[in-house]
Amino acid sequence: MKTKKIIRIILPPIFMFSLLLQNGLCDFKENICACFGKTIKDDIHIIYLPLIDADTTSTSLYSNEIELLNIIFKQASQKITKEGGLNNIKIIDDFDFNKIHLIEILNDPGLYSIGKTRRIYDIVKKKTDINAILMGEYREFKTYLEIYLYWVLFQYDTYVVEKVIFHKNDLYCPKPDDSSQTIICDKIKQNFETIILNIFAKSCPTFYNKKSENVFNINDYLLEMLNQKIVPPKGINEVYISHLSFMDPTKRQIVQKEVKQLINGAVINAIKLMQKKNPSLKHNVAGHALENTDANVNKLVKITFDSNINKAEKVFKITNELMDPSKIDIIVSGQYFKKGSFIDVRPIIIDKKTQRVLVKAAQYDESDFLCSDSANANANTNKNMLCKGAKDEISSLVRELLNQL
């Protein structure tokens, strides 16, 4: 009996994308242009800005690896529009902008998404009719490169950030016709193409269904392609997280015991949910834990509300005094403020690698924040619990912050 051989052909992302656009498998050029508020007859202008060093804010002190990644980054953005037949999209790379200022705006925890994109738009609109910006920053370590790519789409006031890690040894592959020489691995190029397609898709409501969290809900193969995970090299992809109880900014101390325990429950729930989604997140594992004690929270309070040092100095001090000794990468904490029946809750993420502080905020009336826990109450005590809406929202805000890492 003869057996049939099954041959599986894996096509690169950009090839599938060009097939969809050119060969009629899924004709959505009009929808792509609509993402920019344009038609297929209109020119679309996208500014490309080279990667900058996140620590020195320089674009001139490149290593060989970063210089190569910059070339690949630029070529990937140009290749997507060229091979996709999107001739009306113009990639502009000769603009003189303060790149670090644009990234600082995107990372400003005091601005909402719409405020960030509009502030950036006010800066770039003086130059020409700009529809989007593609830029990035990097950190270079001994054996690997950590890169953040930013995509800003003005039509919908949206921006997307994607983090990727490349091991330096993975950048080069033997040359097919001469194994003694090396070339840039095709996989690295395809990774960049996939990332750029992914952040574009996520920024545009035409292709991104937030309810189902699906990208490009048009073709199953394309969906699978765009959701590819860029896997970091082994040994550097674990992120160690610890949680400290929320602080009261008015009293400059730990929040009262009942509220502390209730909020802690919502935060821990969020961390556990994120660990299921991303196994590389490690919460208080042996050798990498900052215990949630009053002493540690008070130390965080003292640094946070020290008026004699600026924000950067505070993060540096938190890193040295709390994170480095505990060998952790992330602190999840927050602030809780109550005035009358008004309650303000602000989860905070402190990221050691990027030295960033990320914040989300939610406001409640006390009646929508604390509800009676009738199931655990007795005749002598009235127990409270977080109202379901408040608990779910706090958990959601923490997950959103962790997703930005």
Q: Please, what sign has the CA dihedral across residues 117, 118, 123, 126? A: positive
User: pLDDT tens for residues 362-395?
Assistant: 888 899 999 887 655 554 455 788 998 899 899 9
pLDDT tens digit at each of 405 positions of the chain: 444 443 333 344 444 444 444 443 334 567 777 778 888 788 888 888 878 777 665 555 556 777 777 788 778 777 766 665 667 788 777 656 666 677 777 767 666 666 777 777 777 766 567 888 888 888 777 777 888 888 888 887 777 888 788 787 777 787 777 766 677 777 777 777 777 777 777 777 665 544 334 333 333 433 444 444 444 444 446 889 999 999 998 888 999 888 999 999 999 999 998 888 788 889 999 889 999 999 999 999 999 988 888 888 888 899 999 999 999 999 999 999 888 888 999 999 999 888 888 888 888 889 999 988 765 555 445 578 899 889 989 998 998 888 877
Element (H, E) at 363: strand 362-365
Distance, in Å, from the CA atom of 135 to the CA atom of 148, rounded to the nearest integer, reads: 9
Catalogue all structural domains in the chain, each as residue range(s) with its CATH number. Answer: 13-226 (no CATH), 239-403 (3.40.50)
153, 199 contact by CB (below 8 A):
no
β-strand pairing of 342-351 with 356-359: antiparallel
Distance, in Å, from the CA atom of 385 to the CA atom of 263, rounded to the nearest integer, reads: 10
User: pLDDT tens for residues 45-74?
Assistant: 888 887 877 766 555 555 677 777 778 877
